[in-house]
Amino acid sequence: MDAKDLKVVNKPVVKMDSMGLACGEPAFTDDVEFKGLLTAKILWSPHAHARIKKIDVSAALKVPGVKAVLTYKDLPRVPHTTAGQGYPEPSPYDTYTLDNKVRFVGDRVAAVAAETPEAAQEALSRIKVDYEILPAVLDTAEAMKEGAPVIHDEEDSKNIPDAKHNIAAKFEFQVKNGEWFKEADFVFEHTWSIPYLQHCALEPHVTIAHFDNAGRLVLRTSTQVPFHVRRIVAQALKIPVKKIRVVKPRIGGGFGSKQEVLLEDITAALALKTGRPVKLEYTRKETFISSRTRHPSRVRMKAGVKKDGTITDAAMEITLNTGAYGSHALTVMMCAGSHTLPMYRIKNNIRFVGKSVYTNMPVAGAYRGYGATQGFFAWECLMDMMAAKIGMDPVEFRKMNYIKLGEGSPVFKAMGEGREGVEQVITSTGLFEAIEKGVDEIKWTEKKAEYAKQTGPIRRGLGAACMMQGSGIPEVDMASATIKMNEDGSFNLLAGAADLGTGSDTVLAQIAAEVLGIKADDIIVTSSDTDITPFDVGAYASSTTFISGGAVKKAAEKVRDMIIEVGARILDEKKEDLRLECGKVVSKSGASCPLSEVANTSLYYYNQHQITASASHFAQSSPPPFQANFADVEVDTETGVVKILDYVSCVDCGTAINPVLAEGQNDGAVLNGISHTLSEEMEFSSNGTPLNASFRRYKILSAADTPRLRTFIIPTWEPAGPFGAKSVSEIGINGPLPAVANAIYDACGVWLFDAPFTPDRVLKAIKQRR
């Protein structure tokens, strides 16, 4: 099959919720009013590491309007993880809804529910806590040393590989074919680092817990993982799953930070305590101090190359700072290697050594790119170093070595997400075309020649970086969908998939509409309500289009067959002669009947039944999308200011189900990456208190900073994906760090190893070289 035969898929269908959102329809978690709603607030730890010796809430309870104050004494002690992952989660069970120990500045101490925000705030100030302050450790190297403070000294936590040395996760893997670096003409070894980074979703974390008329607990929450929320809240509070309903309204962005059960457990506990609806919403400051961040990383990489361009060996050693809890500690670390090491053919030896380390710092978690961002920064800069040394054009060097169609990698099998991976070969790739397109658009050859003649303090340079990601987690992620037909030939699509603003409702409707021969707006999408829609792991791991789309396609195919069955009866034709087209059942003979007639026949006249079907989907492979990135930058060598003049990103996501949404996803990911590259960094005081926990001080780039930025979709056909689709949501964020670093080197001969590339840092590097 080919994309050119498609009628709804691969077309820029208008995002179905866009008009409502643009007009301010009440859509988000906090847009609905509940009678008697209480406001919840959390008391945050002012200490990086301390034990609660005494906690007295009596004065807080006396504040007028206060309905509940919870401390660790009031809740079951259940070790769990906040990471919303497939069960059993690969993250350690090291978190308690409330504990008698605090492990970072911003850890939970107590929770309050009150009639007004003011009363809740007042109550917080009246909670008396007597802390035994413990020595804190903020640095991963210090934390692993013998005798360092042990952050998880509790006995009931589970799956921590080495709590005594603060190691939350570790993994080693090696392919050994002979002596290391024996064949290499040149060997390189460097360390690259990425700091604490925040997701900055516009809608902060927010949860409302209330009760339905049967007294069941309903959690209306801004989440990427409604079904995992249901399971983890049930686990943490020891209540049955059947007593909980999770509703996901429209979401104002997640980027990984909402793949966490952050607010739901404590909000539910307050609702259960008071019997009243309760809302907990983070302020912007709270999202900085107490939600989740990207794992700060140090990636030490060593690789060897022959003069002919053969990469002989590669070793990656990564240390992630997971902060006080090990949410996604293992899996982010694994993806730093599993998404990056297979990118290029390595002739002899491959090694990966990973550690995720606890510190008394904010908790890291899932963040778009999920380890690949950290890994590719190192790998792609190293690629340019090797190319420069052997005198090969960096683009040609990549073309020579990247993984080709039909090729596999031992890494795929060895490194899964928290367990062994799945053996796979590349079944679709447009990387060659992506590189060619990018070279052409950025004017690689012309500009290289032009820039070679530069003089003066302002220098321009070009940089390239290629990458891959996954499409869902093979044999882990599962999604399902139900479709039912209405009298007028419209359909309800009930999907477990969680649209976060990504446009997945629209994409899934397009897939169903394509199968059913109708327009996308004849599909009414209801997504992710644990009482109504079937199961889906949620929106993460670049899985929704590939996995949830696969489920929708299967369900639609079942429904199509049921329609044809009824249509055959109406038209008195053979089933194999019928197809669905333009809202009708059409026969080879030219006869046809509208879908409404099919629906009415099935509902009211003949062999009465509801045309409806459900289907589930999981995948045995995770076909990587590929991307070629090109940056044209200008470095002011007197001030260190780096300006991106042009950024071209060519992405092979298989068939773009909705090209406009796919381009938008990629543009957003790239800009997010550019902001990481040039500006963003969380700063901390000497006791781990965040210093720039606001949009005023944490500088994300604005519209005015957006450089000329172009995404080109390179169409390919992935046989495992719905209508040839692969993922597109994460890959774009990995490009800017290495592409810009390589361009800076091209411009002024200086390598940058530590993000972000602020003027101070760039100038320092330039001066050191002189």
Partner 1 sequence: MPDFIVKPSTLKELWKILPSLPAGRRYLAGGTDIVTADNCGAESSECWIDISDIPGLALIKETAGSLFIGSGVKISAIERSAAAARWCPALAAAIPHFASPSLRNMATLGGNAANGSPCADGVCALVAEGAYALLALKGKKRRLLLKDLFLGPKKTALKKDELILGFEIPKRRHAGAYLKLGPRAYFGISKAAVAVSAEIEGGTIKRASVALGSVAPVPLHAARTSAWLVNKKLSAETIAGASEIVKAETSPITDARSEGEYRREMCGVLLERALKSLAA
Residues that bind partner 1 (CB under 8 A): 638-641, 678-679, 683, 691-692, 694, 696-697, 699, 701-702, 704-705, 758-760, 763-764
CB of 703 to partner 1, least distance (A): 8
Measured between alpha carbons, how far is 628 from 644 in angstroms, rounded to an integer? 17
Amino acid at 601: T
Write out the H or E segment, with its range, that includes residue 334: helix 329-338
Measured between alpha carbons, how far is 462 from 635 in angstroms, rounded to an integer? 11
Quick one: 580 or 763, whose CB is closer to partner 1? Answer: 763
Quick one: 18 or 685, whose CB is closer to partner 1? Answer: 685
CB of 63 to partner 1, least distance (A): 19
Quick one: 345 or 699, whose CB is closer to partner 1? Answer: 699
Tell which residue, 294, 299, 260, 290, has the closest CA to residue 364: 294
Q: Which residues of 99-138 are buried (b: 16+ CB within 10 A; e: fewer)?
A: bebbbbbbbbbbbbbbbeeebbebbbebbebebeebebbb
Quick one: 653 or 682, whose CB is closer to partner 1? Answer: 682
Quick one: 208 or 642, whose CB is closer to partner 1? Answer: 642
CB of 632 to partner 1, least distance (A): 18
Place of tokens 């500009």: 447
Tokens of 655: 């068939």
CB of 484 to partner 1, least distance (A): 48
Measured between alpha carbons, how far is 637 from 492 in angstroms, rounded to an integer? 59
Whether 130 contacts 54, CB under 8 Å: yes
CB of 42 to partner 1, least distance (A): 17
Residue 445 CA neighbour count, 13 Å, CB half:
6
Tokens of 112: 């309050």
Tokens of 478: 């599962």
CB of 106 to partner 1, least distance (A): 17
Measured between alpha carbons, how far is 600 from 582 in angstroms, rounded to an integer? 18
Quick one: 492 or 639, whose CB is closer to partner 1? Answer: 639
CB of 461 to partner 1, least distance (A): 20
Handedness of CA 110, 113, 114, 117 (dihedral sign): positive
- Strand 293-294 vs strand 278-281: parallel, antiparallel, or unpaired? unpaired
DSSP state of 546: I
Quick one: 172 or 638, whose CB is closer to partner 1? Answer: 638
CB of 443 to partner 1, least distance (A): 25
CB of 694 to partner 1, least distance (A): 7
CB of 762 to partner 1, least distance (A): 10
CB of 463 to partner 1, least distance (A): 21
Whether 105 contacts 687, CB under 8 Å: yes
Quick one: 193 or 639, whose CB is closer to partner 1? Answer: 639
Q: Cβ neighbours of residue 554 under 8 Å, at least 6 residues apart?
A: 481, 615, 616, 617
CB of 679 to partner 1, least distance (A): 6
Quick one: 282 or 376, whose CB is closer to partner 1? Answer: 282
Quick one: 439 or 763, whose CB is closer to partner 1? Answer: 763
Tokens of 322: 């997971």
- H helical segments located in 584-653: 595-600
Measured between alpha carbons, how far is 629 from 6 in angstroms, rounded to an integer? 29
Measured between alpha carbons, how far is 281 from 262 in angstroms, rounded to an integer? 11
Q: Cβ neighbours of residue 211 under 8 Å, at least 6 residues apart?
A: 217, 218, 271, 275, 277
CB of 296 to partner 1, least distance (A): 18
Quick one: 370 or 684, whose CB is closer to partner 1? Answer: 684
CB of 666 to partner 1, least distance (A): 22
Q: What angle do CA 176, 180, 183 make, to 5 degrees?
A: 110
CB of 284 to partner 1, least distance (A): 9
Whether 287 contacts 682, CB under 8 Å: no
- Strand 349-358 vs strand 167-175: parallel, antiparallel, or unpaired? antiparallel
Q: Can you say how many angstroms the Cα of residue 341 is from the centroid of all Cα atoms in its chain?
A: 20
- H helical segments located in 68-136: 117-125
Quick one: 26 or 457, whose CB is closer to partner 1? Answer: 457
Quick one: 22 or 703, whose CB is closer to partner 1? Answer: 703
Whether 290 contacts 331, CB under 8 Å: no
Whether 640 contacts 747, CB under 8 Å: no
Place of tokens 């092979």: 652
Quick one: 608 or 702, whose CB is closer to partner 1? Answer: 702
Measured between alpha carbons, how far is 695 from 673 in angstroms, rounded to an integer? 17
Quick one: 356 or 675, whose CB is closer to partner 1? Answer: 675
